[in-house]
Amino acid sequence: MEQALNKDNKNFANINNLKVRYPYGQTDPYAIVELIATSKIEGDKYNIDQMPALSARVSHAASGKTGLDAEKDKGLMNYLAENFHLTPFEHQSATFKIVTPLIVARQWMRHRTQSYNEVSMRYSADPVGKFYYPEIWRLQASTNKQASLGEVENQKECSNVLEKAYENSLSAYNKLLELGACREQARLIVPVGNYTEFYATANLRNWYAFYKLRIANDAQWEIRQYAKVIGEILSEIWPNSWNALLRNSK
């Protein structure tokens, strides 16, 4: 299986069961992570999953050793990650299409080492009305202003309040358009629970930095599910280089 997977990696990861993942489960009609493209390596001499070892060995003019001994390649990548020599992990990149609530997108884009292009509600009304509904309403943590802990007792009432607010905002948005207001102003009323979509590209090192921060227990649940999916995909397309970072990097 690993051998077959690595063979596919030589020409852009395009494995059908990796293409689309559902961070909130398939019952959510909008939330997705879609793998769009990954780095390509030319020819058959090397595998893209060996890229950290290949690029690191150039320091000793020994790149040609890469691929001769798979265990040594893995060992070198583990050593690099363990000792925080991470520039060799910057030579392979991945692009994802992300569909996520605005509350997640605004946290996500604090990661300024990624490159983004996002749908504009100035140009299109299509995203408006695609809303996120939490399955569980969480209590505000008493000791941390930015954390939640436990569950609200009256779950149904919370959902009813949110649904009504969404309905009112969508009705008001459509009314503004009917009155002739432009989209760039009508969007003022769009709630942060509305879905947006964007493309995000980063190298492996910076995907790991994103993953490490957003998979943590103190990260918001809504973005943690996306980090989990990103990690799963990267682990499957680049098992050796990604897992070297997971096991060894501080």
Indicate the pTM of the whole model.
0.88
Q: What is the dihedral of CA 83, 87, 89, 91, to 10 degrees?
A: -160
Rounded Cα gap, residues 119 and 199, in angstroms: 9
In sequence order, the 6+-apart residues with CB closer than 8 A to the CB of 160 are none
**Domain locations in the chain?**
2-132+194-248, 133-192
Mean pLDDT of the chain: 90
* Residue 112, amino acid: R
Q: Please report, in angstroms and rounded to a whole number, the separation of the first and last CA atoms in the chain.
A: 29
Give the three-state DSSP class for 33: strand
Structure confidence at residue 149 (pLDDT): 74
Any idea which of 106-115, 143-152, 241-250 has the lowest mean pLDDT? 143-152
What tens digit of pLDDT does each residue of 135-176 get? 999 998 777 666 677 889 999 999 999 999 999 999 999 999
Q: Are 210 and 176 in contact (CB under 8 A)?
A: no
The set of catalytic residues is 214
* Residue 141, amino acid: A
Domain 2-132+194-248 has CATH 3.40.50.150: no
What tens digit of pLDDT does each residue of 25-75 get? 988 989 999 999 999 988 888 999 999 999 999 999 988 889 888 899 999
Structure confidence at residue 145 (pLDDT): 64
Exposed e or buried b for every residue in 179-197, given b needs 16+ CB within 10 A?
A: eeeebeebbebbbebbbbb
